[in-house]
Amino acid sequence: MNIQVTLAANSENPLSIDVGSGISVATLIESFEERYLLGVSAMDETHREFVELVNRLGSAEKAAFIALFDELVRHTEQHFENENELMRETAFPAIREHTDEHQRVLGELKRIGNKVATGSTAVGRAYVREQLPSWFNLHAITMDSALAAHIRKTAV
Ligand SMILES: [Fe+2]
Ligand SMILES: [Fe+2]
């Protein structure tokens, strides 16, 4: 006797993305995933906001894109400053490399933000689409994850 197993159709799954359809994919970072949760609520909340902002940029028209990019720069500046402060407060051993990385990315964001503010949105769109999501994925699961583990340890 043969047993046939039928898998649920992927097209029914709201999380699936048709990468073959090109730029219609607006979600640049998949909605805040559990793997980003670090167990430090201040960091998790900021990261949730960051992901939301990046995804809104993914589908924004020009005027909205310019305003949102400026919001992203200011949000990221605060995001990094808060983490830098946490590192100082808890004497995080890798403070140097983590704050250096924040400074590098913030510098990049500000440089691109200056271009976007003058109406050159193409460079901003490319950055938000091609670089920021992969940077965030890597940063969250490496440097931020290490910082969160350190904070959780020193808090007890
Ligand atoms: Fe972070
Ligand atoms: Fe960080």
Per-residue pLDDT tens digits for 45-89: 999 999 999 999 999 999 999 999 999 999 999 999 999 999 999
Distance in Å, CA 156 to ligand 1 centroid: 22
Assigned token pair, 29: 């970072």
For residue 48, which ligand has an atom nearest its CA? 1
CA–CA distance from 139 to each of 6, 30, 67, 147 (Å)?
Answer: 39, 15, 25, 11
Per-residue pLDDT tens digits for 96-143: 999 999 999 999 999 999 999 999 999 999 999 999 999 999 999 999
For residue 46, which ligand has an atom nearest its CA? 1
Distance in Å, CA 5 to ligand 2 centroid: 45
Q: Is the pLDDT of residue 155 over 80?
A: no
Please answer whether residues 60 and 68 qualify as being in contact, where contact means their C-beta atoms are separated by less than 8 angstroms.
yes
DSSP assignment of 30-74: -S--GGG--S-HHHHHHHHHHHHHHHHHHT--HHHHHHHHHHHHH
DSSP assignment of 135-149: HHHHHIIIIIHHHHH
Q: For domain 40-155, give the CATH number.
A: 1.20.120.50
Domain ranges for the chain:
40-155
CA–CA distance from 44 to each of 57, 109, 147 (Å)?
Answer: 20, 21, 12
* pLDDT at 6 (0 to 100): 34
Q: Is the pLDDT of residue 22 over 60?
A: no
What CA–CA distance (Å, rounded) separates 83 from 90?
11
Distance in Å, CA 64 to ligand 2 centroid: 26
Model pTM greater than 0.85? Answer: no
* pLDDT at 36 (0 to 100): 80
Q: Name every residue whose Cβ is closer than 8 Å to that of residue 131 and which is 6 or more positions away in sequence.
A: none
What CA–CA distance (Å, rounded) separates 53 from 68?
7
For residue 51, which ligand has an atom nearest its CA? 1
